Chain A
Amino acid sequence: MNPGKFSRLITFLILIFFYIPIAVVVLFSFNASKSPVWVGFSLLWYKELFTNSYSIWKAFWNSIIVAISASFVATALGAFGAIGLYWGKFKGKDYIWIISYLPLIIPDIIIGVSLLIFFVFIKLRLSLFTIFIAHVTFSLPYALMIVFSRLQDFEYSIIEAAYDLGATEEIALFKVIIPISFPGILAAFFMSLTLSIDDFVITFFVAGPGSTTLPLKIYSMIRFGISPTINAISTLMLAGTIVISVFMRKYLKYIF
């Protein structure tokens, strides 16, 4: 059944709705004036961003450090978790699934608040490290589910075949299971990276002085009002997003 005119109209209106505000932001990042009235093309704000914005870059590198380290840990733990759930026969699997789904159902702000109270309670100073812990925590279930969904593409007999051909458990793990789940592991890693770089709410609660990440920095800049520098950062981040989305397309099916 071919879609009717109505659904086509809605789709195009949605795409316009999606892109008009973003396009305006991008356009005005090249404006020669500080106020949002177009006066002419200029790279002024990019120059400002690259030469005169130490705190933005500090926040950027903080975000990168947290994103990469948290994604590594989350992907490793999540992938092994998925392999264990796929491979093993043990009691309590249901409970593991429940604590995996809960973080996806509970609003982010609750995770942020509960971690903040937890860190203060155990007297852990708020820093990049606490942000790292928080990011691993909210990325873990995604990593697990992405790798698990990749593994589900294979029948269990593939592992039995490895045993049957003389493989030990380690060999089955390293020569068969990890290689076949690799696209899923990669997708999980990128998903964790994106979640980590994007996160504002949870980070907002668990960040301490001196551990500002890029979203926190952008947030405090937005609170001061509109500024062409934000437009310039937004444009660059958008470009990064487009590159990643195109690259990720291959792995999307393990994410949804």
Chain B
Amino acid sequence: MKYVSGYTLWLVIFFVIPLIIILSFSFLEKTPYGGVNFSFSLEGYKSLLTIGYLKVFWRTVWISIISTLITVLLALPAAYYIAKSKFKNLLLILVVIPFWTNSLIRIYAWIFVLGNNGIINQFLRFIGLIDSHIQFLYNPWAVILVLVYTYLPYAIIPLYASIERLDNSIFEAALDLGCSKRKAFFKVLIPNIKTGLITSIIFVLIPAMGSYAIPDLVGGVNSKMIGNEIARQLTTAKNWPAASAISSVLTLITLLGVILFVRNSKKEVLN
């Protein structure tokens, strides 16, 4: 027990208590320059029910779900190919390098390529096809593109790990029993890598739901997500109860999502 105490104490003080604090602050009154008055109020939550906020919530959800879907659908064949490839060590390194690369650099790379002064626009201007620029960025699809780019390695790695662990003979058995390759993929592979699949979905969906830097840098006014709104309430608007309320709702949504998702998948596995 004594060995765990430092670890536990640290997490309780700097993780659990701050979470409890924002949850409690979300029920308090705001003061004009940041901070809270210690009297009960539901103003923080009431402001969430405006049309503007509901739109941001809805946008966050659909952008995250679409990004996750694209990411996992791309990751699945890639993870499978890498796990079965003769060059799997090399391919794995090639996937891991972007994983370790600073995320801001990866966002910057896209701004550099697609930005209003990026190389594509410069090139098009250079050959005289356009006068000013084509705006590739600053819309929800740019956010989705960069989310997929950023989180694809996060999805490939757990899927790779669970496919690699599988005994190859189960595929051989499936083929031997007359299964087509496509059927074997869906009837044998997918059910056996459920944990990897869940992990990779969680690894993509959660950071996407809470993303701040990507919509901030490549999204426009019409593609702000919850993360940006939390930051705005905290810094510019100085409305701590509102920031706390949005944070609490976001935490609740992700936690409930994860719990329901994991529980349902477990049930399916058991059935």
Name A's B-contacting residues (CB within 8 A): 1-4, 6-8, 10-11, 14-15, 17-22, 24-25, 28, 35-37, 76-78, 80-81, 83-85, 87-88, 90, 96, 99-100, 102-103, 105-111, 113-118, 120-121, 133-134, 136-137, 140-141, 144, 194, 197-198, 200-201, 204-205, 215, 218-219, 222-223, 225-226, 230-231, 233-234, 237-238, 241-242, 244-246, 248-249, 252, 256
B interface residue numbers (CB < 8 A to A): 1-8, 10-12, 14-19, 21-22, 25, 34-35, 74, 77-78, 80-82, 84-85, 89, 91, 93-98, 100-113, 115, 117-119, 122-123, 126, 149, 152-153, 156-158, 161, 168, 171-172, 174-175, 181, 184, 202, 206-207, 209-213, 217, 227, 230-231, 234, 240, 243-244, 247, 250-251, 254-255, 258
Asked if B81 contacts A1 (CB within 8 A), the reply is no
Instruction: A2 to B130: give the CA distance in the assembly, Å.
Output: 47
Q: Compute how far the CA of A215 lies from the CA of B101 in the bound complex, rounded to whole angstroms.
A: 12
Q: Does A245 contact B93, Cβ atoms closer than 8 Å? A: yes
Q: Which residue in chain B gives the minimum CB-CB distance to A87?
A: B3
Contact residue among A109, A198, A225 (Cβ-Cβ distance under 8 Å from B102):
A198
Q: Given the complex, which residues of A lie within 8 Å of B4, measured CB to CB?
A: 80-81, 84-85, 88, 96
Q: Are B81 and A105 neighbours in the complex by a CB distance under 8 Å?
A: no
Report B-chain residues with C-beta under 8 Å of the C-beta of A35: 117, 122
The one of B80, B95, B106, B115 in contact with A7, judged by C-beta atoms closer than 8 angstroms, is: B80
Closest A residue by C-beta to B83: A3
Chain B contact residues: helix, strand, loop or mixed: helix
User: Is B255's CB under 8 angstroms from A234's CB?
Assistant: no
Bound-complex Cα distance A106 to B252 (A) = 9
Query: Given contacts A3-B81, A105-B202, are A18 and B255 in contact (CB under 8 A)?
Result: no
Given contacts A77-B7, A81-B4, A117-B25, contact A222 B104 (CB under 8 A): yes
Cβ B101 vs Cβ A201 within 8 A? no
The answer to whether A102 touches B15, judged by C-beta atoms less than 8 angstroms apart, is yes
With CB as the reference atom, state the residue of chain A lying closest to B126: A37
Contact A105 B254 (CB under 8 A): yes
Please indicate the chain A residues that have their CB under 8 angstroms from the CB of B78 in the complex. 7, 10-11, 14
Q: Which of A20, A118, A141 has the most CB of B within 10 A?
A: A118
In the complex the two chains form, is A215's CB within 8 Å of B104's CB?
yes
Given known pairs A25-B105, A28-B119, A84-B1, the reply for A99 and B15 (CB within 8 Å) is yes
State the main secondary structure of chain A at its contact with B. Answer: helix
Q: Give the Cβ gap from B158 to chain A, nearest Cβ, in Å.
A: 7
Contact yes or no, B104 A99, CB < 8 A: no
Tell me, in angstroms, the Cα distance from A2 to B254 when the chains sit together.
37
Q: With both chains docked as a complex, state the minimum distance between the C-beta of B269 and any C-beta of chain A, in angstroms.
A: 19
Q: Are A109 and B210 in contact (CB under 8 A)?
A: yes
Known: A109-B210, A109-B230. A226 touches B243 (CB 8 A): no
Q: List 8 A-B contacts (CB under 8 A).
A: A14-B152, A18-B95, A21-B110, A77-B6, A80-B4, A84-B3, A99-B15, A218-B104
- Asked if A115 and B97 sit within 8 Å, CB to CB, the answer is no
Contact of A28 with B112 in the complex, beta carbons under 8 Å: yes
Contacts of A252 in B (CB 8 A): 96
B18 in complex: contacting residue of A8, A11, A117, A246, CB < 8 Å: A117
Known: A109-B227, A113-B22. A1 touches B106 (CB 8 A): no
Give, as a whole number of angstroms, the nearest-CB distance from A105 to chain B. Answer: 5
Which residues of chain B have C-beta atoms less than 8 A from A234's C-beta? Answer: 102, 105, 108-109
CA distance A88 to B3 in the complex (A): 9
CA distance A211 to B110 in the complex (A): 27
Also in contact, A6 and B14, with CB within 8 A (given A1-B172, A99-B8): no
Known: A3-B80, A7-B78, A219-B213. A36 touches B122 (CB 8 A): yes
Task: Pick the contact of B113: A24, A81, A222 (CB < 8 A).
Answer: A24
Q: Which residues of B contact A14 (CB under 8 A)?
A: 74, 78, 152, 156
Q: Do A25 and B3 form a contact, CB below 8 Å, given A1-B181, A106-B255, A107-B227?
A: no
**Smallest CB gap from B22: residue in A:** A114
Contact residues in B for A3 (Cβ distance below 8 Å): 77, 80-81, 84-85
Q: Are B244 and A80 in contact (CB under 8 A)?
A: no
Further 19 A-B residue pairs, CB within 8 A, beyond A18-B94, A106-B19, A226-B118 = A4-B181, A10-B78, A22-B101, A36-B118, A77-B6, A80-B3, A81-B7, A90-B1, A107-B207, A107-B251, A113-B247, A114-B15, A114-B247, A117-B21, A118-B14, A134-B14, A194-B100, A200-B104, A249-B93
